[in-house]
Chain A
Amino acid sequence: MELVELTIKQAHEGLALKKFSCKDLTLAYLKNIREKDGEIGAYLTVTEDLAMAKAKEVDEKIDRGEKIGLLEGIPCAIKDAILVEGEKCTSASKILENYIAPYDATVIKKLKDLGVVILGKTNTDEFTMGSSTENSAFKVTKNPHDLTRVAGGSSGGSAAAVASNMACFALGSDTGGSIRQPASLCGVVGLCPTYGAVSRYGLISHASSLDQIGPLAKTVEDAEIVFDAIRGKDLKDATSVELSSEKLQTTNYKLQTMRIGVPKEYFAKGIEPAVEKIIRNAIEKAKEAGAEIIEMSLPSSEYALACYYVIDPSEISANLARFDGIKYGLSVPAENLLDVYLKSRGKGLGAEVKRRIMIGTYCLSSGYYDAYYKKAQEVRELIREDFKKGFEKIDLLFCPVSPFPAFKIGEKADNPMAMYLADIYTIPMKLAGLPGISLPAGKIDNLPVGLQIIGNHFEENKILAIAGEMSKLLTY
């Protein structure tokens, strides 16, 4: 097995037993990036100096005979919307093209304290708005399984990096599906934690009531290791919470004792038959393993996409007001203050970002607030209630991540509504703040398809345990 194919535990054992050095491991990844990333385009910045300096430190520690932690010396990639001190952080936007992060995000501080090797910053849709990375101001990330197709988005760079062995694991962020959808399209494991489970401090804000950081990894076990490393209460994010130790136990859960809900709305018109077949097959496997399958309904799901595209842009229009040509980022010289705003934002922001700022501004403007924003908040409550009722009778939900596998580059780029529909199965649970995972479940020709497993609030442990068991039953 090649070094870049190892899981976190395998790489850790190799390092601890001195089968190879951290320098060897890091160089193997850097070599892979040099050879492959020209055509895939997963990385925006490769932080070679940072990576090699850390590798040296880890090797010295091992040479001294000291014990190393599980993540110590493990090479990873970070979505370019998450701040790594001293490195460029662009969120794939022209307005932040030359922005150097002044501090570490909390998740980065945690990973650095555990000794990870950071290989670089990965491509995303501009300010994480999109489902294909085609909205990146710099480049499109190609799907490693078919270079004519998208990697998904917005964490497409992170998903493609893991899928093509250009990182052992990666961090992404999920606002409406941005971890799970690219994970599904690239055939890796992607976990979107419960809202509040992981600190958002140092993640460039998209929509604050929805944004959440999570891992993309080769296996469920790896995703769990990374989630355990980054979760927890942070004084710098007032919405973050500490999980109880009971919520961290994964050993108590077996498919045999699970009641699995299958919501009919997720198999309605729009889903590709080949995707449905793979998901139904996974459900059948769970049934054979002893799980109770419960057909159910989440009736408010049909309003979720419309609800999301009111709330998300509304929050964007407020959050992105900070890009004003004054505080940081691109500033276009002009005669007066208003023109500095207009021109800096006009020049620095891309089409999709402008579109969402416009939608949000419209929905929040006088005379429209009640019809759009207030109504959407009420619908969000209906969606929450749906899930709340559902979870009284079930433990987990099984459904597709995406209605289709990776689509062609350019296929949806000019049609925002068609692109928004890519997230139709990942958005509803997000509005309820629930956790979910994308697990590789099969392929259509060579294109991966992910199974989505959704759990109740802060029940990542249940999701991870069952996803682990499922991954053994699914021939992928």
Chain B
Amino acid sequence: MISKDEVKHIAKLARLELTENEIEKMQKDLSSILDYFELLKKAPKLKIDRLPMSDKNLGLRRDEIVEQRREVVEKIVALTPDKKDDYIKVKNIL
């Protein structure tokens, strides 16, 4: 069983505020799900010595600048909750 403190710690890492009720339910749900994951331990070891999915197209590419319509950029900026001119406002973090 995962502890309440562990749930709180994970929630903070995940940037989620949880109520007392949510923490209790999460403790129960996470424990049963993590128990189910024990099944993975029974799976045989990979025989082939290579990274999983290495033979697949992972879609890796070089960084490149792709033009976007000005209109779309303006709409995206307009969707931010707090802004000044073309800048997105963020709380002071210092």
Contacts and interface: CB of A to CB of B under 8 A. Distances in A.
Interface stretch (A9-17, A63-71, A306-314, A447-455): A306-314
A324 interface: yes
B29 A416 contact: yes
Nearest to B69: A103
Contact of A328 (B30, B80, B92): B80
B37 A349 contact: no
Contact of A417 (B32, B58, B59): B32
Contacts of B46: 378, 381-382
Contact of B30 (A300, A329, A359): A359
Given A354-B18, A416-B33, A365 B13 contact: yes
Nearest to B51: A377
Contacts of A473: none
A103 B17 CA distance: 31
A238 B59 contact: yes
Contacts of A337: 90-93
Contacts of B52: 377-378, 380-381
B16 A324 contact: no
Given A306-B37, A307-B40, A362-B10, A346 B18 contact: yes
B81 A325 contact: yes
A309 B52 CA distance: 17
Interface in B1-60: 7, 10-18, 22, 25-26, 29-30, 32-34, 36-37, 39-46, 48, 52-53, 56-60
B26 A355 contact: yes
A327 B66 CA distance: 20
B44 to A, nearest CB: 7
A152 B80 CA distance: 34
B14 A358 contact: yes
Contact of B79 (A99, A317, A361): A99
B15 A306 contact: no
Interface residues of A, number: 64
A331 B53 contact: no
A147 interface: no
A306 B36 contact: yes
Interface in A97-144: 99-100, 102-103
Contact of B61 (A238, A300, A377): A238
B66 A379 contact: no
Interface of A: 99-100, 102-103, 196, 235-239, 241, 300, 302-303, 305-307, 309-310, 317, 321, 324-331, 334, 336-338, 340-343, 345-347, 349, 351, 354-355, 357-362, 365, 372, 375-382, 385, 416-417, 433
25 contacts: A100-B75, A102-B79, A236-B66, A238-B59, A238-B60, A239-B57, A302-B39, A306-B36, A310-B37, A327-B79, A330-B81, A334-B91, A336-B93, A337-B92, A337-B93, A342-B16, A346-B18, A354-B18, A355-B26, A358-B7, A359-B34, A361-B14, A365-B10, A372-B37, A380-B52
Which 8 residue pairs spanning A and B have beta carbons closest together?
A346-B17, A331-B81, A102-B75, A238-B59, A239-B59, A342-B17, A337-B91, A377-B52
